[in-house]
């Protein structure tokens, strides 16, 4: 029993920082008003962050592409409702949001210089 408790305690120490980081990223997205139109795993006005991550995670340059889309907006990629530009979100903050969104697919962002396969995403 003691061994079980020690293993459980060790796992909580390892797992707790990851949960705290995920919560921090979600709070950051909330602070940038992203959750007004998006949810993590459910479509709202716009697609879920998970759906975005699954579509773009394997694409070369996906982080830069999504960061540009956050700041510049988009049309016709997810249906009739356009995503309005968010110029108040800095380029650094947009890159942080894009990295977090991509992390939801469990796939690393593939830099354009390291891959020539998969869906090509234009760089902004």
pLDDT tens per residue across span 16-31: 444 555 689 999 999 9
Q: What is the pLDDT of residue 23?
A: 83
Angle at 50 between CA 49 and CA 55, to 5 degrees: 100
Spell out the CATH class of 2-114.
mainly alpha
This prediction's pTM: 0.70
Report pLDDT digits (tens) over 76-105.
Answer: 999 999 999 999 999 999 999 999 999 999
Q: What is the pLDDT of residue 106?
A: 72
C-alpha pair distances (Å), 40 with each of 21, 83, 94, 101: 15, 16, 16, 9
Only one residue has tokens 């510049």, namely: 72
Q: Are 107 and 50 in contact (CB under 8 A)?
A: no
What is d(CA 81, CA 44) in angstroms, rounded to the nearest whole number? 11
What is d(CA 73, CA 56) in angstroms, rounded to the nearest whole number? 16
């Amino acid at each position: 029993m003691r061994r079980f408790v020690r293993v459980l305690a060790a796992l909580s120490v390892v797992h707790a920082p990851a949960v705290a980081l995920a919560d921090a990223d979600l709070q950051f997205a909330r602070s940038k008003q992203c959750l007004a139109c998006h949810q993590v795993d459910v479509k709202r006005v716009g697609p879920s962050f998970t759906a975005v991550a699954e579509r773009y995670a394997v694409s070369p340059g996906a982080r830069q592409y999504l960061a540009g889309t956050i700041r510049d907006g988009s049309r016709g990629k997810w249906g009739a409702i356009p995503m309005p530009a968010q110029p108040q979100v800095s380029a650094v903050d947009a890159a942080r949001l894009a990295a977090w969104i991509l992390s939801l697919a469990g796939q690393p962002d593939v830099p354009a210089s390291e891959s020539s396969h998969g869906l090509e995403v234009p760089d902004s």
